[in-house]
């Protein structure tokens, strides 16, 4: 097992783990933080932290789950440190669609993404993390709870509150 070898100080094994898990963790951090630059920093800091804490790694645990938790906690701390309302300059640009679409539909799509991004700013950091893990990463509630370090019931409640807030905020788009 690579994680065991890495915990014993094998740098090459750790490098393989970084290459295997890095892209997925970067995607998670980008979804949580909304900024690719911030996400890269968070993932890099998480891997440095993981390298230092490898001797504490439970050998019966999955490395990917452990790293998910480290990255999620790092992102949560960054989200909590942010001011509650983001300025317009901080809202990420919506990604351009990869398919042909009429200009009016494209504008409508960009506006919807922008409104969703703004609506997500209204969520607490905890709600945002749980919602992203559940809805965008397709994690079961049990995994969301384990990753965030809460009970399954608390994870369900946070996702429910996040959904309710997003549905109310995005009501004009339905």
pTM score of the predicted model:
0.66
User: Could you give all domains of the chain from N- to C-terminal order, each with its CATH number?
Assistant: 1-84 (1.10.1740.10), 90-174 (1.10.10.10)
Q: Are 131 and 149 in contact (CB under 8 A)?
A: no
Q: Retrieve residue 169's tokens.
A: 């905020």
> pLDDT digits over 17-61, tens only?
999 999 999 999 998 898 899 999 999 999 999 999 988 887 777
Euclidean distance between CA atoms 159 and 85, whole angstroms: 20
> pLDDT digits over 130-168, tens only?
999 999 888 999 999 988 889 999 999 999 999 999 989
pLDDT (0 to 100) of residue 152:
96
Q: Retrieve residue 84's tokens.
A: 């509650």
Q: Are 39 and 78 in contact (CB under 8 A)?
A: no
Angle ∠(18,22,25) on CA atoms, nearest 5: 135
CB atoms within 10 A of CB 163: 14
């Amino acid at each position: 097992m690579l994680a065991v070898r890495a915990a014993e100080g094998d740098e090459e094994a750790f490098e393989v783990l970084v290459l295997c898990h890095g892209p997925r963790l970067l995607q998670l951090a980008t979804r949580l933080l909304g900024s690719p630059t911030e996400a890269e920093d968070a993932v890099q800091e998480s891997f440095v932290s993981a390298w230092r804490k490898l001797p504490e790694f439970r050998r019966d645990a999955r490395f990917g789950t452990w790293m998910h938790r480290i990255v999620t906690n790092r992102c949560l701390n960054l989200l909590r440190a942010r001011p509650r309302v983001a300025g317009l300059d901080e809202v990420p640009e919506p990604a351009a669609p990869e398919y042909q679409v009429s200009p009016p539909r494209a504008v409508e799509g960009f506006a919807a993404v922008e409104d969703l991004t703004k609506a997500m700013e209204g969520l607490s950091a905890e709600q945002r993390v749980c919602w992203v893990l559940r809805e965008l990463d397709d994690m079961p509630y049990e995994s969301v709870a384990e990753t965030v370090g809460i009970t399954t019931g608390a994870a369900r409640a946070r996702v429910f509150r996040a959904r309710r807030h997003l549905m109310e905020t995005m009501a004009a788009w339905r």
